[in-house]
Structure 1
Amino acid sequence: MVSNMKYIPHLFFIIIFHYCFAFAHTITEIKEMVEEELEREKFIDHIIVRLNAGSNLKNAKDIELLATEYALNSNKVKLLVTSNGHEYSLEGISTEAIIIPTLTRKVNKGELLNEDMFGEIKYPKDKLSGLIIQDTKEIIGKSAKKTLQPNKPIRPSELMSPTIINKGQKVTLQFNKTALIIETLGVALEAGGLDDIIKFKNIDSGKLVIGRIKNAQVVEVGGQI
Structure 2
Amino acid sequence: MRRRLLLLAAFAVLPGAFQAAAGEAVLVPNRVIYPGETVAAEALKEVILAEGKVPPANVVIALAALEGKVAKRTLLPGRYVQANALREAYLVEKGVPVEMVFVSGGLSISATAVTLEPGAAGDMVKVRNIDSGKVVSGVVMADGTVRISG
The TM tier, using the shorter chain, reads 0.5 to 0.7
Whether 2:63 is the aligned partner of 1:144: answer: no
Deviations 1:166-215 (A, max 9, x none): 21222111123344432222221112344443222334361331322433
Counterpart in the other structure of 1:215: 143
**Quick one: which of 4, 27, 42 aligns to 1:101?**
27
Amino acid at match of 1:96: A
> Identity over aligned residues, as a percent?
22
Asked if 1:124 is matched to 2:48, the reply is no
Say which SS state the counterpart of residue 64 (structure 2) adopts: helix
Of 108, 113, 134, which residue of structure 2 is paired with 1:186? 113
Distance in 1 between the 2:141 and 2:94 partners? 13
TM-score, with normalisation over the residues of structure 1?
A: 0.48
Q: CA deviation at 1:137?
A: 0.8
1:10-89 maps to which residues of 2 (within 5 A)? none
Asked which structure has the greater CA Rg, the reply is: 1
Q: Deviations over 1:139-179 (max 9, x none)?
A: 21222122111222223322223344221222111123344
- Report the counterpart of residue 61 of structure 1 in structure 2: none
Structure having the larger proportion of residues in strand: 1
Aligned residues: 128
Which residue number corresponds to residue 176 of structure 1? 103
Distance (Å, rounded) in 2 between the aligned partners of 1:187 and 1:147: 30
In the alignment, the residues of structure 2 paired with residue 155 and residue 179 of structure 1 have an alpha-carbon distance, to the nearest angstrom, of: 44
Gaps of 5+ in 1: 1-72, 75-93
AA at the equivalent of 2:94: K
CA RMSD of aligned residues (A): 2.7
Alignment partner of 1:154 is 2:84: no
